[in-house]
Amino acid sequence: MATEIRRLTFENESANELYIMRDDLLPFSMGGNKVRIAQAFFDDMKHKKCDAMIIYGSRHSNLCRVLANLCFCRGVECVMICSHEEQEDTQATNNTCLIDWTGTQTVHCGKNDIAQTVERVMEELRAQGKHPYYIYGDKTGRGNEGTAASAYAEAYAEIREFEKKQGWEFDYVFCPSGTGATQSGLICGHLLAGDRKKIIGILISSRETKRAVSVISDGVGSYFEKNGYALSEDYEKEIILRDEYRLGGYGKYDDRIRECIRTQYVLNSIPLDPVYTAKAFWGMQEYIKANALHDARILFLHTGGTPLFYDFLAKEGAGNTRC
């Protein structure tokens, strides 16, 4: 599993060079960072001798799409717990439709009922003689942070490989930060390589910042512990999470995001979505300006979510006078 890194057209006056890593093109289930992360969960499930997978996410969840698909392909039972914000639009998305195609049972719950829903589904599966595996660990979503982090701890080698070929190192790597798994993994890779680059996560949800940093820290800690690596005491200073670009929270966006999506499609022919990648890309551009970065080599990790790009297009483009 490896994807292309290439340079993008990037208008700026500060001689920065922008590159992109196209993990949206990973060749499974419409691609994205969740292809790597889902594989890590699946392997962990097998390792733990479990035979049924419980997945969790919103109706925009790319991870649930990939896990549902992976479980179908491997003949493993899969149940999705889908949480909803209050007063949220409940219309089906491309991801919910693709999940539905796999025959995955979906259990809906409110944002405050996740733990008890996980517990109930676990018990139901056990009553059927199954050994269920909840991707996030215990019912409160803790205990399996290291597994998710391992995906990008390993993918980091591809960035190093590219740098080696170029004969230079990136100064910055930007990525969307939602669950924190991708950023945790990249930080693990960075710490293990002992290189000098900065990994900057753009928080895309309304998760409390201190909590988000703590989740990333747990991911790094768990991965190091699981693999028996020594972790320096001050590793938390490597966690750079910017929370000023979330624009109202998960799934919320405005004209700046719309403009970013259109511009990056026509200029660099890449699809960005309003929930994750466009917000992170726009946030990166704002960060570059606000911090006057110059003469820097910058990598944007395209974490995928192409089905959400097409949700956006269907809503705001095709069939709509705005197109």
Q: Are 72 and 78 in contact (CB under 8 A)?
A: yes
Chosen residue from 265, 286, 293, 296 binding its own copies by CB under 8 A:
265
**Helical pair 62-74 and 306-316, crossing angle rounded to 10 deg:** 130
Chosen residue from 130, 262, 293, 296 binding its own copies by CB under 8 A:
262
Chosen residue from 12, 16, 17, 72 binding its own copies by CB under 8 A:
72
d(CA 100, CA 108): 13
Q: Which region, judged by CB under 8 A, interacts with its own copies, from 26-34, 173-181, 184-192, 193-201? A: 26-34
Q: Give the nearer residue to its own copies in terms of CB position, either 92 or 290.
A: 92
Q: Indicate the Cα dihedral angle 179, 34, 69, 96, nearest 10°.
A: 50
Q: Are 147 and 40 in contact (CB under 8 A)?
A: yes
Number of residues that bind its own copies (CB under 8 A): 42
Restricting to residues 4-23, name those near its own copies by CB under 8 A. Answer: 4, 6, 9, 22
Distance of CA 170 to the CA centre of its chain: 21
- Closest C-alpha among 277, 262, 301 to residue 22: 301
Binding mask 85-124 for its own copies (x = CB under 8 A): ------xxxx-xxx-xxxx---------------------
Q: Give the nearer residue to its own copies in terms of CB position, either 104 or 182.
A: 104
Q: Give the nearer residue to its own copies in terms of CB position, either 67 or 241.
A: 67
Minimum CB distance to its own copies, residue 139 (Å): 29
271 binds its own copies (CB under 8 A): yes
Q: Are 282 and 257 in contact (CB under 8 A)?
A: yes
313 binds its own copies (CB under 8 A): yes
What is the DSSP annotation of 141-166? S-B-HHHHHHHHHHHHHHHHHHHHHH
259 binds its own copies (CB under 8 A): no
d(CA 116, CA 93): 25
Chosen residue from 18, 19, 30, 189 binding its own copies by CB under 8 A:
30
Minimum CB distance to its own copies, residue 319 (Å): 5
CB count, 10 Å around CB of 197?
20
